[in-house]
Chain A
Amino acid sequence: MKIVLDRPRCEGHGLCEEAAPALMHLDDDGELVLDREEIGDAEAAAANAAVRVCPVAALRIA
């Protein structure tokens, strides 16, 4: 599984970081950085929660 970010859509609300702090974070400029794109079963729940919480639908699982 892979997390895919639609960069132009991301507005930096940061709710995904709260849902999956091990997988992504906002950098000092408020830009989202995916720390892990390829994810295993162990992280699937956190990744799905991050996708789910994005208010502008900028994240998906592929």
Chain B
Amino acid sequence: MSTVAPPTADVDLFADDVLVDPYPTYARLRELGAVVHLPKNEAYALTRYDVIRDALGDWETFSSAGAIGFNPMVNEALTGTSLASDPPIHTQLRAALTENLTPRALRGLKGQIEEKADALVAELVEKGSFEAIDALARAFPLEVVADLIGFTGHVRDNMPCWGQAAMQVIGPMNQRTAECFPIAGELYGWCSGVTAEDLAPGSVGRGIFEAEARGAIPPGTAGHIIHQYLGAGVDTTIAAIGNIVALLGARPDQLELVRTDPSLAPAAFNEVLRFWPPIHAWGRKATRDVEVDGVTIPAGSKVAILFGAGNRDPRHYEDPDELLVERNPVDHLSFGYGPHGCAGQGLARLEAHAVIGALSRRVERLVLDPEVRVPSNITRSIDELAVLEVVPA
């Protein structure tokens, strides 16, 4: 069989300007091909919707084992997690991780989460102006996850920084990654040392230790599961909630649609995720020479999955660069797909639907300053978003 090499682009996926606004780069790469070789990143980027979805569903060809991060140190550090393993080991680790995160396990939390979101949004509307990232996008998921895991005190204060570092180090070994390794190490250290007694009785965190004690999960794994909850779930949820405020705030017509029909909250969340996925790039490794859309990715190659490029693929979504809440793109790529599909998506939905619901009930319009972004390797999120004025509902 003759093989055709993919097109090549002189792009660094982790350059500051690309991280702040990757969309022009995504469009360029997508037009070059479904697979584009990026020598600067020593990787093959997947850029179009269909090939991304197929790769995410095919763990045998696109392995996660030692392959999700873009530097060897992080891949080594993630060894033995469900994130960085393939079936059959993955199946067991995943079951332990998701036991407390499935919608059925979280059902009891829905009411509390909605009340919290409503109280927080009510307070901010009352204030009339606020900084939305600290006051809402960070504050709300931290409160939810702190209650869920059952931690208090200084750990809670450290969590945004720890969560951010845990994602940052998944990038290539650039300055951002080097600076964040010690901070990510603090989170890992805390999770390795935490005991059942440190966590509130009745919390999910305490439950994970109880599961370990009765042998439902292997000895010594409770801390790792808590590490995954915090490492994977904090920074991404903060990004998603910040994006909700920024996107619905900047588009009063779209907010108005949700205000008129509150059942559109889940559709609005799907569209916000499609439009601005919290995760920029995620790794896999090709286990064999694989032909994708007429070109060959050589066995052993690093593969970079660009969720945001797939989500804006005009071959799959009409007018992909428009934010339209009624589109309800249930098949967006932002939670991944298949065996490694986001384990915390049920919780993320509960939180996001609660925030969208509260905003749509209490806000007619927001007057926003332009968002401030700081380049970040993996999580693309807003760093500061000033709400200058709230027009209450």
Contact = CB atoms under 8 A, between A and B. Distances in A.
Interface of A: 8-9, 11-15, 19, 26, 29-31, 52-53, 55-57
B103 A13 contact: yes
Contact-residue bracket for chain B: 10 to 19
B337 A29 contact: no
A29 B104 contact: yes
Nearest 9 A/B pairs, CB to CB: A30-B104, A57-B338, A55-B341, A12-B104, A11-B102, A56-B341, A53-B330, A12-B102, A57-B57
Instruction: Please classify the interface of chain B as helix (H, G, I), strand (E, B), loop, or mixed, using the class held by over half of its residues.
Output: helix
Interface of B: 57, 91, 95, 98, 102-105, 107, 330-331, 335, 337-339, 341-342, 345-346
A11 B208 CA distance: 18
Contact of A13 (B102, B331, B339): B102
A14 B102 CA distance: 10
9 contacts: A8-B91, A9-B339, A14-B103, A19-B330, A52-B330, A53-B331, A55-B335, A55-B345, A57-B57
Contact of A57 (B98, B103, B107, B339): B339
A39 to B, nearest CB: 20
Contacts of A31: 104
B346 A13 contact: yes
A30 B103 contact: yes
Contacts of B330: 15, 19, 52-53
A50 to B, nearest CB: 10
Contacts of A15: 330
Contacts of A57: 57, 337-339, 341
